[in-house]
Amino acid sequence: MTDLERLQASPMPLAVLMGVRFLEASREAVIASLLVREDLCTAGQNVHGGALMAFADTVGAAATILNLPDRAGTTTLDSKTNLLRGAVAGSTLTATATPVHRGRRTQVWQTRIEGEDGRLVALVTQTQMVL
């Protein structure tokens, strides 16, 4: 089973609810997309910052899962989000998580969320605990 198939076989409930689609997955990077729906927006049909945070957390956690030892789990310890620009309802965002640190007890991932034009919407760094 490929890493992408592993992620698709064990869907994360919030990711399903939000409509996160995993596009590529390996131990080195996870790429996913998210259609900005109206129910993920604030006033003015602009994506909610919390939706961006949840999207990035989901992709970073998925990347961590692919790097865990057998029978280990993970949980987010810390997350830092820089919200850089908006994205309107109807647009599609792409998140790419890459490793900063993959240790025995923690992993740190950086996730870039970009708009359809390739411009950076948010930059997230999260620390995942290995359980």
What is the reported pLDDT for 125? 98
Q: How far apart are CA 95 and CA 34, in angstroms?
A: 8
Instruction: Give me the torsion for CA of 97, 39, 86, 15, rounded to 10°.
Output: 0
Question: What structural domains does the chain harbor?
Answer: 3-130 (3.10.129.10)
Tell whether the model's pLDDT for residue 11 goes beyond 90.
no
pLDDT digits (tens, 9 = 90+) for 45-70: 999 999 999 999 999 999 999 999 99
**Residue 5 identity (one-letter amino acid):** E
pLDDT digits (tens, 9 = 90+) for 116-131: 999 999 999 999 999 9
pTM of the model: 0.96
Q: How far apart are CA 14 and CA 6, in angstroms?
A: 17
Which residue has tokens 């949980």?
Answer: 75
